[in-house]
Structure 1
Amino acid sequence: MLHATGSLLTIDVGDRETETTTIDEELEEFIGGRGISTKLAHDRIPFDADPLGPENRVYLAAGPLQQSDMSFTGRMNMTGLSPLTDGILSSNAGGYLSRNFVGTGHSVVELTGASDELLAVHVTDEGIEFETVSALEGATVPEVTEEMNERHGLESENLVTIGPAGENEVRFASAMTYDERAFGRGGLGAILGSKNVKCISFAGDSAPELEMPNEDIQMDVHRQAATSDDIFRRQGTTHLVQVLNDNFSLPSHYFADQSFEGVEQINGDRVEEKKYKKAACSVCAFACKLPTRDEATGLETEGPEFETIMAFGSNSGVDDIVDIMKSNDMCDDLGMDTISCGNTIAAYLASEDEFGNVELIHELVEKIAHREGIGDTLAEGIDRAHEELGVENWTVKGMDFAAHDGRVVHGQGLSYAVANRGADHMYSTVMIPEYNDVIPAEGTSGKADFIIDHENRNAVRDSAVLCQFGLGRVIEEEIFEALFGTDYEDLLAVGDRVVTLERHFANQRGRDAEDDRLPYDLPDLDSSIQEYYDARGWTDDGHVPGDLVADFAQAADD
C-alpha cells in the first residue's frame, strides 16, 4: 500500500532537544497525515493529559501524495488533544506548506513540552533552530510573516503561525499557514500557544525517495481538475448558501431559524462579485479559492467560504457580505476558527438580542482573541459559556455545529452525535448523499453502515491529505485503488483503525454513550446509535473493546 516515507522528528520545546525516529511500520499501517498522527497521539499522549499542558503533543504530517504533482494534494494535517473537545482531533489546511514540509525529509513533526520564552522553531533538512521571538508577542499572523521574511527570507508558505488568539489559549484558536489558510477546528492553535511557540517554519530539498504509482492516473486527475466547469471553481463552497436556504436549511439567529431573509445579499453570487483573481493550493489546477476585494473599503481577504457565511452571516443576523468578509479577515489575522468564533458570537448576540449588530460583532472578535471582558468568557466556546449566557448549548462533545443542519438531513444529525470530534460536518459528509437523494434525508434508521463507510473513507482521505473537492468529483474508488496499489476495502480498514483509536482514546478520558447526544430529537436516534456501535464492534455504552486495539497492534507487528 502506498504510504508516506520519512522519519518522525520529535521536538521538545521546553528542553530544546530533538529526536529522530524511524516509523516505517506505523506508516505502512496508517498511510500518513491524520492516520499516522492519530496512531502516534493515541500511543504517546497520556490519557489524562491537560490539552493546554506541556504533556500534550501536536503533530504536523504529510501523506504520500504530497510528493506527487497531482491536483487536490496541496494540503497538510495537524493533530492534537483538542482544548475544545477534549479528544484527539485532526484538521487540515491548504496552501503551499506541504511541499516545503516534505522537503525537510520528515513525514511527521511532533512538538511536546512548553517553552519559557516565545519561540520560532525552524525545521530544515540540515537541522533545527530555536529562535526567541519575544518581540512578536501579540503579533498578528501577517505581522509574523513579515518579520520572518525580513529575518530569514521565509514566506507565508513556509510557516505555521498563531496569532494573539493562540497565545491567549482561545479554545478555538487556529494555526495558520499561507496567512489565510487555517488548521481551523478544535483549537490546535491554542496548543501551540500553550507551548509558547509563535511559529514553525519548514524548508529543505530532501524529500524522501518514493516511487509514485500510476502517473497516467495522476495526470488524468490533474487534467480533469483543470478542465472542470464545476461551480466550486467559481464560488467555492458559497454556492451552497442559496441552495440550502431554499431547499433544506440555513441555520440562522443562533440556530433558532432555518432560513434567512437576507440570504440574497450573502450568497455565492455576492462572493463571486467580490472575487478579483483565481487562487489555488500547491500544484492544484482546480483553483477553487476565493480572493475577494471590496473596492469601496479597500478590504481584501480570502473567502468567506460557506460555513463562515453561516456563522458570521445568517446565524449572527448579518446580511452584508462585506461585513462578513471583514469578520473573516479579522479571524485570519488574529488566528481563530471562523465557524466557532462566529457561532460563539451568535450565542452572545442571542443572549443580548443584538442580532445584526456588526460593530458589536467586530468588537467581540477582538475581545475574544485578547480575552478582554466578555471575550474571556466567549473564548471558552459555547459548551463552557452557554450557561453564563443563558442560551441553549448548540454543541456535541464541545464542538459547535456546522451549517449542514441535522434537523433536516437526519443522517448527518446521527453522524454529529456519534462522531469522535462532535458536530463537524467534515467527519463523515453523509449530508452530501442526503442532499442528492442517494439516501432519504429523513430518518436515522438503517444509516449506520452508510455513516461508517463515509467516516472510514474520509479518514483515508485525511491520511493521504487529499482535498474534499477531489472526492466524488474526479477521484473515485477505482482511482484510489490504482493510486494506493491495494483494494478499496483495505483502504477502508485503515480508516476504521483511525476512527477506532480516536474513540478508544476518548473512552480512556471518560467518554461514552452519554456523550453521543444532540440538542434536538431525531426519529429512532437511540436505536440508530446502537446500530452504529454494533456495526463498529463497540459495546452498548460506546466503548471500544480492548481486543480491537490489541488487534491493531498485532497487525502492525505482523
Structure 2
Amino acid sequence: MLHAEGPLLTLDLTERRATRTPIDGILERYIGGRGVATALAHDRIPFDADPFGPENRAYLATGPLQLSHTSFTGRMSMTALSPLTDGLASTNAGGYLSREFAGAGISTLEITGASDELLIAHVDDDGVEFEPVPDLVGATVPEVSEHIAETRGLGPENCITIGPAGENLVRFACVMTYDSRAFGRGGLGAVLGSKNLKAVTFSGDAHPEIEIPDPPAMDIHREAATSDDRMKRQGTTGGTEFINENFSLPTRYFEAYEFESAAAIGGDAVEEKKYKKEACSQCAYACKLPTRDEETGVETEGPEFETVYAFGSSQGVGDIVDVMRANELCDTLGMDTISAGVTVAAYLKSEDAFGDAELAREVTKRIAYREDDDELADLLAEGVHRAHDELGVENYTVKGMEFAAHDGRVLHGQGLSYAVANRGGDHMYAGMLSPEYAGEIDPEGTLGKSELLVEKENRNAIRDSAIVCAFGSDYMTPERLATLLGRSDDELLEIGAETIERERHFNNQRGKDIADDDLPYDIPDIEEAIQEYYAERGLREDGTIPSERIEPVAVSLGRESGTHDGSPADD
C-alpha cells in the first residue's frame, strides 16, 4: 500500500526541543494526513485537555500522493482539539506547502507545550531552529512572510503562519499558508497562538518525487488540464445563482432563503474580476481565483462561494468588491471567512444593520485585534455559540461551529450530516449537499439517507488522508484512488470508518453524546434519522461508541501513563 513516508517530528515548545520518532506502522495503517493525525491526536491529547492549554497538540500531516506529480494532490491536513467546537477537528489547505514539507524529511509534525515568548520554528532536513520573534507580535500574515523572506530566503509556500487573530485566541482563527490558503475551520490558528508559535517554515530535499501507477495517474493529470469545467473559471462561486434560485442561499443571518443580489456576488461577478490563472502544487486544474478590482485596487484570491455567502448574502451585502475586501482582510488577519462572516452577520442582525459592509469590515478587524477595552470584539471573538445570548439572536451553529452556506433547512440530508458530524456545522465532512443539489437523491426528508451519509463520511476521511482535493472527485474516482493507494475500495472505507470512530470516541470522552448531535431548526424525522445513523455506525442509542472498539496505536511512541486520567470515565 502507498502511504506517507518519514518520521513524526515533535516540537516541544516548552522545552524548545525537537525529536523524530518512526511511525511506520501508523502510516501504513492510516495512509497519512487526517487518518494518521487523528490516530495520534486520539492517543496523545488528554481527554480532559484545555484547547488553549499546553497539553493540547496540533498535527500537520502530509500523505503519499504529495510525493507525486498528480493533479489534485497539493494539499495538507491539520488536526487538533478545537477551541471552537471543544472536540477533535481536522481541516486542510491547498497551495504549495506539501512538497516543501515532504522535503524536510518528515510525514507528520506534532506541536506541543507552549513557549514563554513568540517563536518561529524553522524545520529542514538537517534539524530544527527556534527563532524568538518579539518584533512580530501582532504582525499580519503577509508581514510574517516578508520577515521570513528577508531573513531566511524562503517564500510563503514554505510556511504556516498565524495572524493577529491567532495570537489573540479568536476561536475561529485559522492557520495560513502561501498567504491566501487557509486551514480554515475549527480555530486551529488560536491553538498555535496559545502556544506562542507565530509560524513554522519547512525546507529541504529529503524526499524526491516518486512515480505512481500510470494509468490512472496521468489520465487524471491530462483530464484536469484539458477539461472545460466552469469551476476552472469561477471556482465554487459558479453555482451561486443556481443554489439561490432552486434551493437556498441563507440571507441576513438566516432570516431569508433567497438573496436578491445573488447575481452581483456570484460566479459571473467573480470571473469578471479574475485576472490570471492560479493552481495548487502540481495541479493542472487551476481553479483558484486571483481577483482584482481596477477601480479600487483591491486584490485578493477569491472569494469562493462560502465567503460570498458569509460576507455577502448572510450580511445583506450585494457588492462583490465589498466581499473581496472582507476576504482579503480575513486572509491578512488569519480568520476563517465562514465563522467570521456569520459571526459578524449575527452582530449586524442585533444592530439592524444588514448591508453595512463598512461596519462589517470594521468589526471584523476589531475581532482579530481583540483589544482589552473592546467588549464587543471580545464577545464576537468567541463565535456565535458563545455570543448569541448577549446579541439576542438564534444560535445557528452545530457543536459550536457556524454553518456553511448549504442550508440544511432545505437540503435535509445535509442537515442530518451537520447534526451528526464530529466536526460540527461544516459542509465538507460528508458532503450530502452534492447528490441533493444534483437531484441524485431527493433533498426532502432525512429517513433512509444514513447509509449514504456513512459512506460519504468514510470516503472523505480517506480523501483527507491521501490527501486529495475535494474538487477532483470527478477525476480522482474511488476506483482510481484505490489503484493509486494499492488497497481495495472496501479496505479504504474500513480505514475511513476507523478514523471517524476515533474522532467520535475522543469527543465522547469529553462528555459529548446525542445532546450534541442537534440542529437549531426542525427538519422532518430528524430524531429517527439520527438513530438510523447510529445504527449504521454501530453506535449506542445515546451516540457514544464502545471504548473496546478503539485500539491504541501510539503506545510505541511513549504515551505517558495516565494521560487520559481525569477525563470522563472510559466505558
Q: TM-score, normalised by structure 1?
A: 0.98
Cα separation, 2, equivalents of 1:114 and 1:244? 44
1:69–1:88 CA distance, 2 compared to 1 (3 A): same
Cα separation, 1, equivalents of 2:251 and 2:10? 44
CA contact (8 A) 2:310 2:337 kept: yes
* Aligned counterpart in structure 2 of residue 403 of structure 1, from 405, 423, 426: 405
1:213 Cα offset (Å): 3.6
1:456–1:114 CA distance, 2 compared to 1 (3 A): same
1:495 Cα offset (Å): 0.6
Q: Which residue of 2 aligns with 1:491?
A: 492
CA contact (8 A) 2:447 2:525 kept: yes
1:217 Cα offset (Å): 1.4
Q: Which residue of 1 aligns with 2:67?
A: 67
1:552 Cα offset (Å): 7.9
SS at match of 1:292: strand
Cα separation, 2, equivalents of 1:383 and 1:32? 32
SS at match of 2:202: strand
* Aligned counterpart in structure 2 of residue 417 of structure 1, from 388, 399, 419: 419
Cα separation, 1, equivalents of 2:178 and 2:301? 11
SS at match of 1:122: strand
CA contact (8 A) 1:538 1:545 kept: yes
Cα separation, 1, equivalents of 2:272 and 2:261? 17
Q: Which residue of 2 aligns with 1:216?
A: 215
Letter in 2 for 1:538: L
SS at match of 1:255: coil
Q: Once superposed, what is the RMSD of the aligned Cα atoms?
A: 1.3
CA contact (8 A) 1:497 1:552 kept: no
Q: Which residue of 2 aligns with 1:251?
A: 250
Q: For residues 475-514 of structure 1, give each alpha carbon's deviation from its aligned partner in whole angstroms, at most 9, with x where no partner exists.
A: 1122012111111010011110110000000000000001
Q: Which residue of 2 aligns with 1:535?
A: 536
* Aligned counterpart in structure 2 of residue 388 of structure 1, from 384, 387, 390: 390
Runs of 4+ displaced beyond 2 Å: 210-213, 550-554
Cα separation, 1, equivalents of 2:459 and 2:480? 13
CA contact (8 A) 1:428 1:458 kept: yes
Q: How many residues align?
A: 553
Q: For residues 308-337 of structure 1, give each alpha carbon's deviation from its aligned partner in whole angstroms, at most 9, with x where no partner exists.
A: 000000000000000000000000000000
Question: Is the aligned partner of 1:456 residue 2:458?
Answer: yes
> Could you tell which deviates more after superposition, 435-444 or 500-509?
435-444
Letter in 1 for 2:432: V
CA contact (8 A) 1:60 1:76 kept: yes
SS at match of 1:426: coil
For 1:428-439, what aligned pairs fall within 5 Å after superposition?
Answer: 428-439=430-441
Letter in 1 for 2:130: F
Letter in 1 for 2:394: E
Question: Is the aligned partner of 1:43 residue 2:43?
Answer: yes
SS at match of 1:429: coil
Cα separation, 1, equivalents of 2:138 and 2:212? 46
SS at match of 2:34: helix
1:8 Cα offset (Å): 0.3
Q: For residues 402-428 of structure 1, give each alpha carbon's deviation from its aligned partner in whole angstroms, at most 9, with x where no partner exists.
A: 000011110000000000011100000
Q: Which residue of 1 aligns with 2:196?
A: 196
Q: Which residue of 1 aligns with 2:428?
A: 426
Q: For residues 36-57 of structure 1, give each alpha carbon's deviation from its aligned partner in whole angstroms, at most 9, with x where no partner exists.
A: 0000000000000000110000
CA contact (8 A) 2:124 2:202 kept: yes
1:212 Cα offset (Å): 4.2
Question: Is the aligned partner of 1:15 residue 2:21?
Answer: no
CA contact (8 A) 1:420 1:502 kept: yes
CA contact (8 A) 1:235 1:290 kept: yes
Letter in 2 for 1:500: E
Q: Which residue of 1 aligns with 2:80?
A: 80
Cα separation, 2, equivalents of 1:35 and 1:142? 31
Q: Which residue of 1 aligns with 2:282?
A: 283
SS at match of 2:409: coil
1:359 Cα offset (Å): 1.4
For 1:126-141, what aligned pairs fall within 5 Å after superposition?
Answer: 126-141=126-141
Q: Which residue of 1 aligns with 2:508?
A: 507
Cα separation, 1, equivalents of 2:551 and 2:175? 34
CA contact (8 A) 2:162 2:334 kept: yes
Cα separation, 1, equivalents of 2:11 and 2:188? 17
1:550 Cα offset (Å): 3.4
Cα separation, 2, equivalents of 1:136 and 1:511? 38
1:551 Cα offset (Å): 9.0
CA contact (8 A) 1:78 1:92 kept: yes
Cα separation, 2, equivalents of 1:211 and 1:288? 25
Specify every segment of 5 or more residues in structure 1 that has no aligned partner in the other structure, as ranges. none
1:547 Cα offset (Å): 2.2
Cα separation, 2, equivalents of 1:382 and 1:296? 35
Letter in 2 for 1:21: T
Cα separation, 1, equivalents of 2:190 and 2:57? 12
SS at match of 2:77: strand
For 1:63-462, what aligned pairs fall within 5 Å after superposition?
Answer: 63-207=63-207, 212-372=211-371, 373=374, 374-462=376-464
CA contact (8 A) 1:263 1:314 kept: yes
CA contact (8 A) 1:5 1:27 kept: yes
1:18 Cα offset (Å): 1.4
Cα separation, 2, equivalents of 1:481 and 1:307? 30
Letter in 2 for 1:305: E
Q: Which residue of 2 aligns with 1:516?
A: 517
SS at match of 2:543: coil
1:353 Cα offset (Å): 0.3
Cα separation, 2, equivalents of 1:138 and 1:481? 45
1:553 Cα offset (Å): 9.0
Letter in 2 for 1:422: G
% same residue: 62
1:215 Cα offset (Å): 2.8
1:152 Cα offset (Å): 0.7
Question: Is the aligned partner of 1:4 residue 2:4?
Answer: yes
1:211 Cα offset (Å): 5.8
